[in-house]
């Protein structure tokens, strides 16, 4: 039976030690999970296994034989957090790219590709260019490519971070089926404890570049994992997940009012929403439900019509002044050519970072950037550091920080903690709650029930373009309760009422 052994692997970048002697064993026939806080070295490990990096020390053995760099490039299939595909090609063409020699003619899909496409329910979009497809299709295409390759080692790096529940169940169905083949090793790197517990036989917790613990059998529970993940973190930085109820009185002022709000291409219809100071409303929905488009349309990035009042006003200036939107994808929210300080202050203008005549005040910009770095607990050496050198979690904090820097009354945020470790999640939830407590409102789109449980006061479910009645998160006793309630709401007949 195939086995993979990782022995004392080390890797450092400058002064940062990403891996400090990692030991790990994986066997065919099982699904090995890898969990760990951000910056623990998971991504580095994935890159090393994929042959994108060479370790400084240590060895990797496959069936007891050194697994060389060239071997790894050929026989490791990595399904990435962010798909690395060709947006200008169709889904099918993306699958055909690496197939090898088919002669000089343009390759065509054969039975095997068609079979994988249908297994992943991709037939409908098979001939559409990837750029016109949703993120889910990108992920599934990436997975299809890995399935088609006869690889020995399948590594799923946050494969379902952008997938809604039913789609990720489908995906994990495929992963479990892969386990049945005795020559394949399957590893899942994820932040989602529920899935790790549910689908993995063993879960290794990576902490500070080492394997901190391995949980299996009865010890493998969400609580157990959560406890292992926060080992070594200073107390006070992790706020325990509690539902809702920020301390502020709910004000009378209406910060956001939507009435008859309808997407131009009918992604959602007749949405009614009312948000007051202190409100945190989460909207849940699967990909394609229209929830994402709803948030984008409120920010003016998707075409929609109806009534949209921000702080009682309907004009574009009011939206600019009072509303800040944070996209789900950090690549669309940050400026890669800017430093951290410049990113944090990019939405500001006169008088915050410029004089009345438009002269840029760099000292103020840096002072402000530094202050925001402290407020949002962004861990970096200096405000002048390029934003691209930060870890994903810290980048997300920069995105949230830059949105709140202009002191809006309403923050509209998609997937506030996508691809972010537990400690950072708690910090971001804390920031959003604090923001609401100060007399503002938050509208968040979430795909995970625990996030709704941690963040929300009230939740509404978007299904097929209709928004459900609000549900008080506090009335659910546990995440499981909430999940059950939300599942019921998804099936319920759509009704429109102000939230």
Cis peptide before 351 (omega within 30 of 0): yes
Alpha helices in 376-478 (DSSP H): 392-405, 422-437, 449-455
Positions 214 through 233 that interact with another protein (CB under 8 A): none
- Out of 74, 87, 349, 498, the residue judged to bind another protein by CB under 8 A: 349
Query: Looking at beta carbons only, is 209 or 244 nearer to another protein?
Result: 209
Measured in Å, how far apart are the chain's first and last C-alpha atoms? 56
Query: Looking at beta carbons only, is 64 or 358 nearer to another protein?
Result: 358
Interface stretch with another protein, choices 8-16, 63-71, 164-172, 177-185 (CB under 8 A): 8-16
- Out of 57, 176, 301, 307, the residue judged to bind another protein by CB under 8 A: 301
Distances in whole angstroms, Cα of residue 255 to Cα of each of 88, 275, 316, 341, 343: 41, 6, 15, 29, 26
Q: How far is the CB of 382 from another protein (least distance, A)?
A: 5
Q: How far is the CB of 386 from another protein (least distance, A)?
A: 5
Interface stretch with another protein, choices 63-71, 145-153, 177-185, 389-397 (CB under 8 A): 389-397
Query: Looking at beta carbons only, is 375 or 385 nearer to another protein?
Result: 385
- Out of 254, 354, 474, 496, the residue judged to bind another protein by CB under 8 A: 354
Residues in the chain: 499
Angle at 91 between CA 86 and CA 92, to 5 degrees: 115
Q: b/e for 390-414, b at 16 or more Cβ within 10 A?
A: bbbbbbbbbbbbbbbbbebbbbbbb
Q: Give the span between the Cα atoms of 6 and 62, in whole angstroms.
A: 9
Query: Looking at beta carbons only, is 53 or 454 nearer to another protein?
Result: 53
For residue 212 the two structure tokens come to: 């901190």
Phi first, then psi: give them for residue 314, nearest 5 degrees: -110, -5
Q: How far is the CB of 132 from another protein (least distance, A)?
A: 16
- Out of 363, 477, 491, 493, the residue judged to bind another protein by CB under 8 A: 363
Give yes or no for a contact between 441 and 275, defined as CB atoms under 8 angstroms apart. Answer: yes
- Out of 139, 190, 269, 391, the residue judged to bind another protein by CB under 8 A: 391
- Out of 98, 106, 266, 381, the residue judged to bind another protein by CB under 8 A: 381
Q: How far is the CB of 255 from another protein (least distance, A)?
A: 17
Q: Give the span between the Cα atoms of 451 and 447, in whole angstroms.
A: 8
Which string of x and - marks every residue 173-192 that binds another protein (by CB under 8 A)? --------------------
Query: Looking at beta carbons only, is 36 or 244 nearer to another protein?
Result: 36
Q: Give the span between the Cα atoms of 51 and 71, in whole angstroms.
A: 8
Interface stretch with another protein, choices 11-19, 182-190, 238-246, 439-447 (CB under 8 A): 11-19
Query: Looking at beta carbons only, is 266 or 331 nearer to another protein?
Result: 331
Q: Give the span between the Cα atoms of 412 and 407, in whole angstroms.
A: 13
Positions 21 through 80 that interact with another protein (CB under 8 A): 38-39, 41-44
Distances in whole angstroms, Cα of residue 170 to Cα of each of 138, 158, 305, 381, 490: 15, 15, 35, 42, 18
Q: How far is the CB of 353 from another protein (least distance, A)?
A: 7
Query: Which residue, chain included where needed, has tokens 């949105």?
Result: 403
Query: Looking at beta carbons only, is 278 or 393 nearer to another protein?
Result: 393
Give yes or no for a contact between 272 and 469, defined as CB atoms under 8 angstroms apart. Answer: no
Size of the site for another protein (CB under 8 A): 57
Max Cα-Cα span within the chain: 72
Query: Looking at beta carbons only, is 312 or 349 nearer to another protein?
Result: 349
Give yes or no for a contact between 280 and 436, defined as CB atoms under 8 angstroms apart. Answer: yes
Positions 314 through 343 that interact with another protein (CB under 8 A): 319-320, 325-327, 331-339, 341-342
Q: Give the span between the Cα atoms of 102 and 96, in whole angstroms.
A: 10
Quick one: how far is CA 485 from the chain centroid? Answer: 23
Radius of gyration of the chain from Cα atoms? 23
Interface stretch with another protein, choices 14-22, 57-65, 278-286, 429-437 (CB under 8 A): 14-22
Query: Looking at beta carbons only, is 45 or 471 nearer to another protein?
Result: 45
Interface stretch with another protein, choices 120-128, 215-223, 386-394, 470-478 (CB under 8 A): 386-394
Q: Is 14 in the site for another protein (CB under 8 A)?
A: yes
Query: Which helix (H) or strand (E) is 284 found in, with range?
Result: strand 280-284
**Which residues would be at the binding site for another protein (CB under 8 A)?**
13-16, 18, 38-39, 41-44, 299-301, 319-320, 325-327, 331-339, 341-342, 346-347, 349-350, 353-354, 358-360, 362-363, 365-367, 370, 381-386, 388-392, 402
């Amino acid at each position: 039976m195939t086995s993979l052994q990782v022995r004392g692997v080390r890797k450092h970048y400058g002064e940062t030690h990403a891996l400090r002697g990692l030991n790990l064993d994986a066997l065919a026939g099982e699904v090995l999970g890898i969990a760990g806080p951000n910056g623990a070295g998971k991504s580095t490990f994935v890159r090393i296994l994929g042959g994108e990096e060479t370790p400084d020390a240590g060895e990797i053995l496959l069936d007891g034989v050194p697994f060389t760099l060239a071997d790894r490039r050929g026989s490791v299939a990595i399904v990435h957090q962010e798909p690395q595909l060709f947006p200008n090609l169709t889904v099918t063409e993306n699958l055909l790219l690496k197939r090898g020699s088919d002669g000089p003619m343009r390759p065509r899909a054969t039975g095997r590709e068609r079979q994988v496409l249908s297994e992943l329910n991709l037939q409908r979009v098979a001939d559409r260019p990837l750029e016109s497809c949703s993120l889910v299709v990108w992920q599934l295409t990436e997975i299809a490519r890995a399935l088609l390759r006869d690889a020995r080692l399948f590594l799923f790096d946050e494969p379902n971070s952008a997938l809604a529940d039913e789609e990720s169940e489908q995906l994990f169905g495929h992963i479990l089926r892969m386990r049945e083949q005795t020559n394949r090793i399957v590893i899942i790197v994820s932040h989602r404890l529920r899935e790790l517990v549910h689908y993995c036989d063993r879960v290794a917790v990576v902490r500070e570049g080492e394997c901190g613990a391995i949980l299996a059998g009865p010890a493998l529970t969400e609580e157990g994992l959560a406890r292992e993940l926060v080992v070594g973190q200073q107390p006070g930085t992790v706020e325990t997940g509690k539902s809702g109820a920020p301390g502020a009185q709910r004000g009378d002022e209406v910060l956001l009012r939507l009435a008859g709000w309808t997407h131009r291409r009918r992604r959602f219809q007749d949405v009614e929403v009312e948000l007051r100071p202190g409100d945190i409303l989460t909207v849940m929905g699967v990909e394609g439900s229209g929830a994402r488009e709803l948030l984008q349309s409120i920010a003016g990035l998707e075409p929609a019509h109806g009534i949209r009042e921000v702080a009682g006003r309907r004009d574009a200036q009011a939206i600019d002044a009072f509303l800040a939107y944070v996209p789900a994808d950090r690549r669309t929210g940050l400026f890669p050519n800017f430093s951290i300080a410049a990113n944090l202050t990019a939405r500001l203008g006169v008088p915050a970072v410029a004089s009345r005549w438009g002269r840029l005040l760099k000292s103020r910009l840096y002072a402000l950037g530094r202050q925001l770095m402290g407020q949002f607990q962004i861990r970096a050496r200096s405000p002048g550091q390029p934003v691209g050198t930060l870890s994903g979690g810290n980048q997300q904090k920069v995105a949230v920080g830059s949105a709140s820097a202009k002191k809006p009354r309403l923050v509209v945020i998609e997937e506030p903690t996508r691809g972010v470790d537990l400690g950072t999640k708690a910090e971001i939830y804390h920031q959003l709650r604090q923001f609401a407590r100060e007399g503002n409102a938050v509208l968040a789109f979430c795909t995970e029930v625990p996030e709704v449980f941690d963040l929300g006061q009230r939740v509404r479910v978007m299904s097929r373009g209709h928004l459900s009645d609000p549900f008080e998160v506090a009335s659910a006793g546990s995440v499981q309760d909430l999940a059950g309630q939300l599942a019921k709401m998804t099936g319920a007949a759509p009704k429109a009422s102000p939230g």
